[in-house]
Structure 1
């Protein structure tokens, strides 16, 4: 439990840096998000590792346009001392999840996938989430017949689909090279 609080404290520090007017304590993170982090900690410990601060694990940004903070979890930023690869998917990348913030400090996980990277682009009129993916997700239809070294990689934006309460890939034409 102490290690879970250590990790959550690191995340709260990152949050405080992004929200100076409304710094939040680790316990003010939505319960759903704290549970997800505890699951990561447990997986790390089961692999013989020790959870670290992981201050870049969660990005705090309004992705749905409702003026409520959403939470992007990039598991590749999770620090698991002594078992660094415990939470990766090898050459397939690592997990990324998005929790949409709701009323009364709640959040719902609406996206969960294995990706190669996660980036929030804040250069436009509203923040946009990009995930680094490969092969078929980048339009490479014959990827299953190719060695991994020949796969095409791209960074695809995710669009909020309010009707389905999830994030979906934007059209392939909006993909960009991996940065």
Structure 2
């Protein structure tokens, strides 16, 4: 499976990128870093700069058809920047329109709020997104992982870095089911 990891040029929480990336590799998948700009992205360890990572494809040169599933890592600045970029919002929405599975952790559901794909969905996130998710028509739950298959695709969400082990196991399992 080819898995798109959509991130902004800076602001992604590094562990929310690297742990799911490794989980995809461990499941014999092919992760691809997609961003709004080509070059490298700057990751963060909360508020401190972390490593940089090479972008595999920018949104002007790739599309939903190039991937089997989408992972949206968090960090506060990352999804805030993505939800302000029409191409990023359309890219995320495209996975729902195509019935492809999506996984999002921490603040990442902000991009999905903007894409207007949460109506009737049950999901979790960093607690500060609770009201935004409810206002977008979703049902917010305080659980390590929420798996929602009540739409055209499966949505796997998680709250925070402390939930990464459960998140990675859940989304790789769901992605494998979707591929079968």
Tell me: higher relative CO, structure 1 or 2? Use CA pairs within 8 A at least 6 residues apart: 2
TM-score (norm 2): 0.28
Larger Cα Rg: Structure 1 or Structure 2?
A: 1
Larger helix percent: 2
TM-score (norm 1): 0.28
